[in-house]
Structure 1
Amino acid sequence: MSQWIWMAVGAGLVLSIEGLYLIYWRYLGSGSVRDYINEDQAPEGKYRILRKMKTPNQRIALVDYRGEMWIYGNGDVMFSTTEDEHMYAEVMVHIPMAAAGKRKKILIIGGGGGVTTREALRYSEVEEITTVDVDDVMLDFGKNLDALVKFNKGSLNHPKVKTVIEDGRSFVERAPAKWDVIIIDIPEPTNGCPQLSRLFSWEFYGLLKERLEPNGAISVACSTSSWMPEYFWSIQETLKKAGFHVLPYHNFVLEDGEDWGFCLATLFSVQADSLRMLVSTQYLTPEKLKDMFHMPYYFVNRHQKGKIQTDRNTALLDIVNDAF
């Protein structure tokens, strides 16, 4: 009998060790969920990871949460099929579209999900949209992942849309074209991806100035800036240093308690109260539009603070690191 007991104990130990190894691998080791989904970015409640993969640019996770699709890059949500994504895309696209003198040629940098492209396609005068993303997997999701294609209405497969797999800075440097509207929708630089700073730099903004039509407009996503307003201010000051007129705006999402900052940059002066939506929008009502350009006290750059991001410094990365 004792022999059977010892065999059972041994088997139990083996199973326990295997179980502990799986837990370590999943939560702390190389297969860790934390490598793919940052704790503060995880959905609230049970979710299912459909797929994890590593590309030369980032770690990607495809997540199902209550029937919605969330796509993560290096731990942060890149895009999703949530109501928030509708709001974000409207704010990102329709403000510069309203400010620009014409809307024939559009450049979107960081448009792998296809949602901003979907919104840009709503303008009948649009003739060509170039959507650039550094990661072919993200663009493939936007083109072929059923849930995302349904959400973006097949925008990345539209005949007016040209998709480019390339670093946005490199693409603009070699492209001879000029655009009426340029949309820069990329995450903030991090220690894991410090090269993103080059898409926020004075040198890059100077290049965009050359590639923008005289009556064109640019929008720049400035992250959830309520907890690091210096980041928002630094982008504003860098754009000004490059020669742009800058009109900051923000979008507070009550459900999440997050306040997203944006910059509208033009080569001519724009008054916020002169902007009118040129297509019907679900979220950007006249009241909401007015509120977005009324900056709360924690966003107002009264003392012209903000560091100039260049190709040679780590101004924005330092601000992000200090915020954590």
Structure 2
Amino acid sequence: MKRNQITRDPRLKHLDLVDISKEVFDLAGSYSGIEYSNPLRDPRVTTFVQDGRFFLQASPDRYDIITGEPPPLKVAGTVNLYTQQFFELMHDRLKDGGIATFWLPISQLTTDETKAILRAFHNVFPSASVWATCDLEWIMMGSEGPFQQPDTAVGSLILERREDALRLWPDRY
């Protein structure tokens, strides 16, 4: 789920966005996609130009959701974000009942790399699942206990996003 979709949820109280590159935040203001509202303009959003691993280590805060979307494993300096130790750090910063998600660029990984990352994630999160996109990208989702059924508001948001996707790419769905 993208950041501008998250800010559409009225239940959101606060969203910390962390990226090591200031340019990522600078570019958010120049994008003008269909129904795109720059999430950085939302007063509930705080940005941090910082390494995500360091941010989690230094912050005393705990979160309902932590999502990781680092560069692919082959990019220098990212290997430590695909480890059991990093997944443990994500786990330690979650509130009770919290959920962690992590992007897995499956098309850029070997089978052995994929298995190792999936194993490391599942070692930390007893309840884990993998969600595949039509672009051959995977999202790992994990929590301490069983996932709760989404409530009506979340279900509506999922359906709304699906309808947006159908409108934009009718031949893909």
Q: What range describes the TM-score normalised by the shorter chain of this pair?
A: 0.7 to 0.9
Q: Distance in 2 between matches of 1:122 and 1:243?
A: 28
Superposed displacement of residue 166, structure 1: 0.5
Q: Which residue of 2 aligns with 1:218?
A: 100
Aligned-pair RMSD on alpha carbons?
A: 2.5
1:155-206 Cα offsets, whole Å, 9 max, x none, are: 112101001100100111100000001111122222xx33211112111111
Question: Which of 115, 119, 132 is residue 237 of structure 1 equivalent to?
Answer: 119
* CA-CA distance at 1:216 after TM superposition: 0.9
Query: In the comparison of the two structures, how many residue pairs are matched?
Result: 160
Q: Give 2:11's aligned residue.
A: 125
Deviation at 1:220, TM superposition (A): 0.8
The aligned residue for residue 265 of structure 1 is 142
**2:72/2:108 contact within 8 Å kept:** no
Which of 1 and 2 has higher RCO (CA within 8 Å, sep 6+)? 2
- Asked if residue 182 in structure 1 is aligned to residue 66 in structure 2, the reply is yes
Q: Deviations over 1:33-78 (max 9, x none)?
A: xxxxxxxxxxxxxxxxxxxxxxxxxxxxxxxxxxxxxxxxxxxxxx
Q: Does the 8 Å contact 2:65/2:98 carry over to 1?
A: yes
Partner of 2:129: 247
Q: TM-score with structure 2 length normalisation?
A: 0.80
Q: Is the CA contact (8 Å cut-off) linking 2:125 and 2:142 kept in structure 1?
A: no
Residue 226 to residue 281, structure 1, CA distance change in 2 (3 Å): farther
Aligned partner of residue 270 in structure 1, secondary structure? coil
TM-score, with length taken from structure 1: 0.45
Match of 2:160 in 1: 281
Looking at structure 1, the residues matched to 90 and 81 of structure 2 have their Cα atoms a distance apart, in angstroms, of: 10
Distance in 2, matches of 1:210 and 1:226, equals 28
Q: Which residue of 2 aligns with 1:314?
A: none
Cα distance 1:181–1:284, how it changes in 2: closer, same or farther (>3 A)?
farther
| Structure 1 stretches of 4+ moved >6 Å | none
Amino acid at match of 2:140: C
Aligned: 1:165 with 2:49: yes
Long gaps (5+) in structure 1: 1-92, 94-115, 253-257, 286-324
2:6 is the alignment partner of 1:136: no
Could you tell me which amino acid in structure 2 is paired with residue 156 of structure 1? Answer: L
Percent identity among equivalent residues? 16
- AA matched with 1:161: V
Deviations 1:264-283 (A, max 9, x none): 11111238xx4562424232
Hey, what's the Cα distance between the residues in 2 that align with 1:159 and 1:168?
A: 21
> What whole-Å deviation, never above 9, does each CA across 1:222-258 have from its counterpart, x for those lacking one?
1134974444332221112224421112011xxxxx3
Residue identity opposite 2:100 in structure 1: I
Larger Rg: 1
- Consecutive unaligned residues of structure 2, counting only runs of 5 or more, are 165-173
Indicate if the aligned counterparts of 1:225 and 1:261 stay in contact, CA closer than 8 A: no
SS in 1 for 2:53: helix
